[in-house]
Each structure stands twice: as C-alpha cells, then as structure tokens.
Structure 1
C-alpha cells in the first residue's frame, strides 16, 4: 500500500524480529511456569475445606505475578516482530506445560496408557518444535512501523475493509446458528472466538507498537486511533472470554485448548497478512516453508 513505511531487511529488522521472538518465547515460558505453580498450589490444598485457601499461599501469588510478567512480555513482543511470527510461538507454552506437568507436577499415567500417551506426547512435542523452528526461520522479515498515520491508512484500506466485512458476515451467521439454532458445537464456538481473536491480535499489535514508539520519544497517544484500537482490543478480549467460558461448560478443556490454538493461530496469521501486509515482500519458498511449519 502506497505511503506505508516498512522496516528494511538488514540489521535493524533482524534485531527487532529477534527481540520480539525472544520476548514471546520468554513470555510463554513464564506463563507455563506460572500455571504449573498455581496448579501445584491447588493440588497441595486439594483436601482443604476452604475453597479460597489458595489465596493465602505464596505459591499461588508467585504464579499470578509470573503470569502478569509473561503476558506483559507477550504484549510487548507484538511491537517488535510481525504478527505472523509471534502468534504461532504460543506453541512454546504448550510444550513447556507438557514437560512441567510431567516432571514438576509428577502427573502419572496408568501403565496401560503410559506407552501410548508418552510416545504420542513426545512425537507431538518434536513436531511442535520443528514447526516452531520453521515459523521462526521462514517468518516474514518486513513489518510496518506502527505509527498512528500508518495504522489509519491500513484501517481505511480496501483489503482490510473487505476482510472485516467478510468476518462480520461470517460471525453473524455463526452467532445466529449458535444462539437461535442451538448449534453449540465446539468448532462453532471456537470459530467465534478465533474471529474475535483476529481483531484482538491486530489491535494488540497496534496498541503495543504505538506505546513503544511513545516510550521511545515519538508520541502516539494523542491520536484518536490509539484509543479506538484500545477499546476494540478490550471489547474483543471480553467477548472471547465469554465464549470460551461457555465452551468450558460443554467440552473438555484439553480439547478446547488444542482446537482453539489451531483456529486462533490460523486466523491471526491471516489477519497479519491482510492488515500489516506481512507477506508482501516474501518469496514463494519462504511462504511455503512457513505454511509447512
């Protein structure tokens, strides 16, 4: 799109991508550790009659602090690297949670299930590591400088407007079948979450990018688009949480986590490609290897 400034391929772009990638990996690791610590707190207090006893434990509060730090690192990472590179790195949390659950929490399986589940889990982790490596290696190198002017140009551009129109139509149809036709299938609910999530990641990257530029000295907080993006970010997060809460009442949490990761990551990559034009300067080989990841 004419008039949009991009970082050039070279030292600056590589450094920013590396910072964003490391922040995302670090943030997801912290979140995984935090979840394990909080789960450990709940496990140790399983026999306690007081349901709120965990609020008085240091381990639970330590987990909460690590969660906040991890999510903060994830938030800032979107300002430095392309959205299509950061979103799939949530897989780091999946791998870390599996390892910590087996070692730290000493989750055990029955002898008959051990071989099958251990082998499948190990194979899944290996494939996830390989896919994450391909994402990081062949992810887009170009990303837009997130000034308010550039974000406004993207918002009023026809690719994004067409994408939003199609997304609104799809969302309304799914919501109609979900609410009026009682089509409470897991895929339907998580598609609603993923559609909202694609807007969330766009706004998160915009808000994070403008905040970082403001901290660096280029003030962006006096532009209305910052507050529009912030409101959209909060609203979509709230509605996602609502739909996920409804899904947890109907389906197993492990199934929800897997399907939600796949759908949300896919929609996030598409949203980044359309709004931030992240693949416009990539060759066919890089795109194919990224899709393989």
Structure 2
C-alpha cells in the first residue's frame, strides 16, 4: 500500500528539519576549526571554505533544503512550514552534546514561545493561490504593493550591511539574521517561480524560453549566496542554540508578510483569523526577546594579579622599573 501525498510531504518535511538542524552544528564546528587556524568568518575571513566539516554541513543543508522544496510539491504549506520548527529542537539538542553550548531555562521557555507563536501564525495563515505559470508570478511580483516591499527590504538590507554591521554585527544577533531573513523572503518568490517552471517543463510546457525564469534564477542565486555568507557570520559569532530558533522565527515571519503583500491573502480573511495571526506575531517577538536576553555570555576574566619587578642587577621600586603584570587567578597568592 503506497503513501498518500500528505504522508510523503510529512516524511520529507521531517527529514528536511533533521538535515537542516544537523547542518547548523556541522557548519559551526567547521567554522570553529577554521577560526583556530585562520581568520574567523565573523570578522570577514573565508578560511572555512577549506574546512571539510563546513562543507559537510553545507551539503547537509542543501539536502535538507531540497527535501523541504520537494515536500511543498506533495503537501500544503500549512502542513510543511510548521515542521521547520523541528530543526530548532534538533540543533539545540546537538549543540548541547557536540558543542557544549548550554541554553538557560528561560532560553528554553523562549524557544518554546517562538515555536508556539510560529505555529499559531502558520495555522491561521490564509491559503495562497498557486500560480500556474512563470508569467503569472511575474505579474504578481510587479504589483506596486510588492515592489514597495522589495524596495523597502533592499533598503533595510543595505542599511544593515553598510551601517549596522560594522558597529553592532559582533554584539547583536539581529543584524546578521535580519539580512538573512529579509533576503530569504525574496528567495521564496524566486524559488517558487523556478519550481513551477521545472514542473511545467517536465509536463511538456517549456518555461525555459521565458526571460522571467532566468531572472528568478539569478535573483535566487544572489539571495542564497547572501544568506549563506551572513548565516556563517552569525554561526561563527553567536551560540548555535540561539541562531537556529531566531533565524527560523524571523524567516517564517517575513515570508508570511511577503506572501500577504504579494498574494493579498488577508483580503479574504475574517477579523478573527487576522487577530490570531497578529497575536502569533506578538508571541514570536516575545520569544525572540527572551532568547536574545538569555543568550549564554562569555565568562568574565579571572580575578587575580601578580606583578614582577624586572631589573638587571637589583630590585627597584615600582616607580623606577618596568612592570610585567599578569591578571590570572592561577598565579595569585593572597
């Protein structure tokens, strides 16, 4: 007895979450190894490209994304999208055992809050119309409202890259992940267009001759490369158990916003459904704040001081001699 389409989509979505959650950890370990022997990705280095473990994580992520893409072919987004939260759980569990990254109790509460809020949003998200051709997607993408969204997104991304990243990139996780998520919301449109083009072409209706198909392919490539670059920086700079849920929440939120603007989904919804979605957004925001506020901090430097007075022939007073001061409790004797 064969599997139903929904069952196939469910299995693919769960496998996708397992692969993507694992990829965060593999890439993080690869980034750590690369950072130990070269310039860290968080400060602009690219030595991780020579690290096999990072490539293992990259391949694992690609497999997960492909499985997720195919899952949408068999099952509706309402079923597939919430299962992306499983990658958060996989990533947090593996980070605990493999990276020794501990998440505080309130961080766990924040993670659960993020997942709950995201699920509420997806459950109440309206069903979108599936375009039947690349030209139809192009018509939707060139609507004035969506063009304004694209312009605003690109403006925010440029501001984050040029102004906020040099000042706050190493201390605020929302800078790197904001860039990833904003570009990701644009990736969704392009990937959907490419998927429809491939499906129609396989059915005998060639879509490769349309310039829109290649335009969407180019946009998708640019967006994916940008996402990966800043996701690497986020993983190299911040705790993987925090990066995964915050990235999931921001990406899901912005994708739904883009969908609402592009497909005018709220126009056919009642007040109750819209209110539920807004409550979901507030819940997600609260969870994100809790996660960020309880991020594991670096341990403070140890307390203790010993001073050596260096002299060629005799010991001198501190005012007359060069001093070498070690601030370490290991050498401190009361």
Tell me the TM-score normalized by structure 1.
Answer: 0.67
CA contact (8 A) 1:88 1:135 kept: no
How far residue 229 of structure 1 moved from its aligned partner, in angstroms, is 0.8
1:213 is aligned to 200
Question: Alpha-carbon deviations, 1:235-279, whole Å to 9, x = none?
Answer: 111112222223344333333333322222221111121223344
2:71 is aligned to 77
How many angstroms apart in 1 are the aligned matches of 2:24 and 2:160? 32
How many angstroms apart in 2 are the aligned matches of 1:195 and 1:18? 31
DSSP 3-state at the match of 2:268: coil
Match of 2:218 among 231, 256, 262: 231
Structure 2: give runs of 5+ residues left out of the alignment: 31-50, 281-334
Question: Alpha-carbon deviations, 1:58-103, whole Å to 9, x = none?
Answer: xx97x8876554321212234566768755542121124445667x
Matched, 1:156 2:142: yes
CA contact (8 A) 1:146 1:209 kept: yes
Matched, 1:182 2:182: no
Rate the CA distance shift 1:215–1:25 in 2: closer, same or farther, 3 A.
farther
DSSP 3-state at the match of 1:280: helix
How many angstroms apart in 2 are the aligned matches of 1:101 and 1:195? 26
1:288 is aligned to 275
2:244 is aligned to 257
CA contact (8 A) 2:128 2:263 kept: no
How many angstroms apart in 1 are the aligned matches of 2:85 and 2:112? 11
2:85 is aligned to 91
CA contact (8 A) 1:30 1:67 kept: yes
Rate the CA distance shift 1:231–1:79 in 2: closer, same or farther, 3 A.
farther
Match of 1:269 among 253, 256, 268: 256
Matched, 1:27 2:12: no
Rate the CA distance shift 1:125–1:250 in 2: closer, same or farther, 3 A.
closer
Task: Select the structure of larger CA radius of gyration.
Answer: 2
User: For 1:59-208, what aligned pairs fall within 5 Å after superposition?
Assistant: 68-79=62-73, 86-98=80-92, 117=104, 123=109, 127=113, 130-131=116-117, 133-135=119-121, 137-178=123-164, 182-184=167-169, 185-208=172-195
Structure 1: give runs of 5+ residues left out of the alignment: 1-14, 43-53
How far residue 143 of structure 1 moved from its aligned partner, in angstroms, is 2.4
How many angstroms apart in 2 are the aligned matches of 1:289 and 1:19? 29
Q: When the two structures are aligned, how many residues end up with a matched partner? A: 259
How far residue 21 of structure 1 moved from its aligned partner, in angstroms, is 6.0
Tell me the TM-score normalized by structure 2.
Answer: 0.60
